[in-house]
Chains A and B, each alone.
Chain A
Amino acid sequence: MKLPIRVILTATVAGVALAGCNRVVKPPAAEAAPQQAASQAQDNGGKYTVDSLDSDSCLRQRVVYFDFDKSEIKPEFQAQIACHAAYLRQFPGARVTLEGNADERGTREYNLGLGERRGNAVDSAVAAAGASPSQLNVVSYGEERPVCKEHNEGCWQKNRRVEIVYTAKQ
């Protein structure tokens, strides 16, 4: 029996159309990502949510200040160290860069070293308080990132600091 050409052509066109439909159906990668993140993010349980970074009064403090030529953590910053450590312990996927800084006095390369010493001090303190070392990264900016430029102690003390910067919240 001979099939009419019209039927054959229709079947062919339908087949091509269906094949085309298959290619269109693949979902874009962006839509899939949030679902993947939700399934990977770990929460070890604790008092924080991810939003706490913006709402909790301790977690909102992101700067540790230092005395001249020193890298010891002063007692008034222990609570801040502790709450960030607690957050990091609760969310093992969270990542923090500790940016170490120095005031303008002295040479720029030596001040890279001073900034790093301070970053390392905060790193050690946060790790000792329970964060995993793999969550912490120290970068020193020395005197390259001043928040003020006056040549007096009022400004210098604002520059002797470590900034806690979250690069991943969970």
Chain B
Amino acid sequence: MTQRIFARFLATLVLMLAAAAAFAQGLSGDVPTIDIKNGTATATPIAVIPFAFEGAGLPPDTDVTAVIGNDLNRCGQFRTLPKTDIVEYPTRGSEIKFPTWNLLKQAYILVGRQIENPGGDIRVEFELYDVAKQQQLLALAITGQRTGLRDVAHQIADLAYEKITGVRGAFWTRIAYITSTGTGNNIQYALMVADSDGFNPQTVVRSREPLLSPAWSPDGAKLAYVSFERGNSSIYIQEIATGAREVVSARKGINGAPAFSPDGRKLALTLSFAGHPNIYSMELAGHQITQLTRGFAIDTEPKWMPDGQTIVFTSDRSGKPQLYQISASGGAATRITFQGDYNANASIAWDGKHIAMVQGSGNVYRIAVLDKTTGDSKPISVGNLDDHPSYAPNASMLLYTATEGPRDVLYAVSANGRVRQRLVLADGDVREPAWSPYRQRGQ
């Protein structure tokens, strides 16, 4: 008996090593090319077993299991068991043989099944287990249309993530970004919105003139952005579902860097019509503006702290760009970055304790994270021309723009910087990512 177990253990070990080699080459299949650049040696191992389809018709086109697995892998905190290592296929808790998964060194196992309802929609039932304790952690069901199963899969990944880590999952979220294709006088720009894994891209607006700085409203229904279609920079707010949009500022000079307040009632922005780029706050109800910063420097890129009381912004008032903070009602600004020649373009984590930013030293620009409590910053990207960090709403990951040769591309990096993935979303340049807030049902 012992000999058989030992033989099986050896065979499994060989399988695992082979699988690790295969895994290191990256994922393939039906996702936009996501290359995992770094190893995930410290990630939590979880087995996601294919969710069997129970229905009379054809199985859905969406591979729910693959979507869940890709989500868990890309946040850098999990490592899913490769398909080739899955030797048993339980679909419910009662079918799980825990010794198998213990032998495969899995900490958790996620099983499920997709049941076709008479109306044609699919009920996805799933269970999450702690393998060592043989303990059920989740037993739930989510129903969706065949065309909405990616959303269901992201929601399942979020629930599993939250159960295990204690932090709300951010897989069922969206990203906005700018694309530009063509050269010279024939450049086409577009503001796009896609699922946070890059699927289902939709065009929000197209232009032959530059588009910049997309910013989500807190309810996820609108985007503010800068457009040059009127011949100068102006700020628009557009409702994503309907396409309806309004110009909220088209003053002389720069109209830039819009940012919604956490309560959705105000917009911070950069205006230079009074002589120099300064930070203003606009009441969205009536568009009245209040000037927050003054002086001759370039003050821009305002971002709200989560309590809505403070605004962090970029200013070169001390020579080169650094981050400062100011009360949302105006007053004196205090500097908050003291390491690095150049610090700009903040993205604030949901708890206000970490700020991602562009940090420049010589000609190398990387994404760095400032610990607001200690004042220390640590680079988490490689450079040389990285820009525009954007935190996921749970701060587990960041998006940013990197430059590879002549192209701009998006990368997602785990918050600790250990796992980095390239998102290939479109031909041409892809840049200026903005991660949406948590989604609400019906969006």
Measuring CB to CB, which residues of chain A are less than 8 angstroms from any residue of chain B? 69, 104-110, 112-114, 116-117, 138-142, 144-145, 149-151
A116 touches B314 (CB 8 A): no
CA separation between A138 and B342, bound complex, in Å? 26
A134 → B minimal CB distance (Å): 13
Is B387 in contact with chain A by the CB < 8 A criterion?
yes
B203 within 8 A of A: no
Q: Is the CB of A110 within 8 A of B254?
A: no
Q: Tell whether, in the assembled complex, residue A109 and residue B210 are in contact, meaning their CB atoms are under 8 Å apart.
A: no
B270 with A107: CB separation less than 8 A: no
Instruction: Mark out the residues of chain B between 358 and 387 whose CB falls within 8 Å of any chain A CB in the assembled complex.
Output: 358, 360, 363, 365, 384-385, 387
Which B residues lie at the A interface, using CB under 8 A? Answer: 210, 212-213, 228, 231-233, 253-254, 256-257, 270, 272, 277, 298, 300-301, 314, 316, 320-321, 342, 344-345, 358, 360, 363, 365, 384-385, 387-388, 403, 406, 432
Distance in angstroms from B260 CB to nearest chain A CB is 16
Pair B277/A113 contact, Cβ less than 8 Å: yes
Q: Which residue of the partner chain, among A104, A108, A113, A150, contacts B272 with CB atoms under 8 Å?
A: A113
Measured CB to CB, the nearest residue on chain B to A140 is B254
Residues of B within 8 A of A138 (CB): 253
A109 touching B385, Cβ below 8 Å: no
The answer to whether B365 and A106 touch across the interface, beta carbons within 8 angstroms, is yes
Asked if A108 and B213 sit within 8 Å, CB to CB, the answer is yes
Would A141 and B213 count as touching, CB distance under 8 A?
A: no
- Assess whether B388 is in contact with A107, with CB atoms less than 8 Å apart: yes
What B residues does A114 contact at CB under 8 A?
A: 298
Whether A144 touches B212, Cβ cut-off 8 Å, given contacts A113-B254, A116-B253, is yes
Counting chain B CB atoms within 10 Å of each CB, the highest count among A112, A113, A114, A144 belongs to A113
Asked whether A107 lies within 8 Å of B301 as measured between CB atoms, the reply is yes
B436 to chain A, nearest CB (A): 20
Report the nearest A residue to B184, measured CB to CB. Answer: A147
Contacts of A149 in B (CB 8 A): 406
Given A107-B314, A108-B213, A139-B233, list of 14 further CB < 8 A pairs? A69-B320, A104-B385, A108-B212, A108-B388, A109-B212, A109-B314, A110-B298, A110-B314, A112-B300, A113-B298, A116-B272, A116-B277, A138-B253, A140-B233
Measured in the bound complex, the distance between the Cα atoms of B385 and A95 in whole Å is 37
Q: Closest Cβ of chain B: how far from A69's Cβ, in Å?
A: 8
The minimal Cβ–Cβ distance linking A64 to chain B, given in whole angstroms, is: 19
Which of B253, B320, B360 has its CB near the most chain A CB atoms (within 10 A)? B253
Cβ B344 vs Cβ A107 within 8 A = yes
Given contacts A112-B233, A138-B253, contact A105 B300 (CB under 8 A): no
A153 nearest in chain B by CB position: B363
A-B contact pairs, 6 of them (CB 8 A): A105-B360, A105-B363, A107-B358, A110-B344, A110-B345, A116-B253
Report the 7 A-B pairs with minimum CB-CB distance, sorted nearest first. A113-B298, A144-B210, A107-B345, A109-B257, A107-B344, A113-B277, A149-B406
Give chain B residues whose Cβ lies under 8 Å from the Cβ of A145. 210
Contact of A117 among B213, B231, B298 (CB under 8 A): B298
Bound together, the chains give a CA A145 to CA B208 distance in angstroms of: 12
Complex interface: chain B residues within 8 A of A151 (CB): 384-385, 403
Cα–Cα distance between A142 and B345 once the two chains are bound (Å): 15
* Cβ–Cβ contact B345 & A109, under 8 A: yes
A contact residues around B213 at 8 Å (CB): 108-109
Given A106-B360, A107-B358: A116 touches B387 (CB 8 Å cut-off): no
- Residues of chain B with a CB closer than 8 A to A108's CB: 212-213, 387-388, 432
Nearest Cβ on chain A to B366's Cβ, whole angstroms: 12
Q: Chain A residues near B210: list those with CB within 8 A.
A: 141, 144-145
Give the CA-CA distance A144 to B384 in the complex, in Å. 19
- Asked if B272 and A106 make an inter-chain contact with CB atoms under 8 angstroms apart, the answer reads no
Minimum Cβ distance to chain B for residue A149 (Å): 5
Q: How far, in whole Å, are A57 and B321 apart by their CA atoms in the complex?
A: 39
Chain B residues with Cβ below 8 Å from A106 are 321, 342, 344, 358, 360, 365, 387
On whether the beta carbons of B256 and A112 are closer than 8 Å, the reply is yes
Q: B316 — which chain A residues lie within 8 A by C-beta?
A: 110, 113
Q: State in angstroms the CA–CA spacing of A28 and B387 once bound together.
A: 55
Give the residue name and chain of the A residue nearest to B296 (CB).
Answer: A117
Q: A117: shortest Cβ distance to chain B, in Å? A: 7
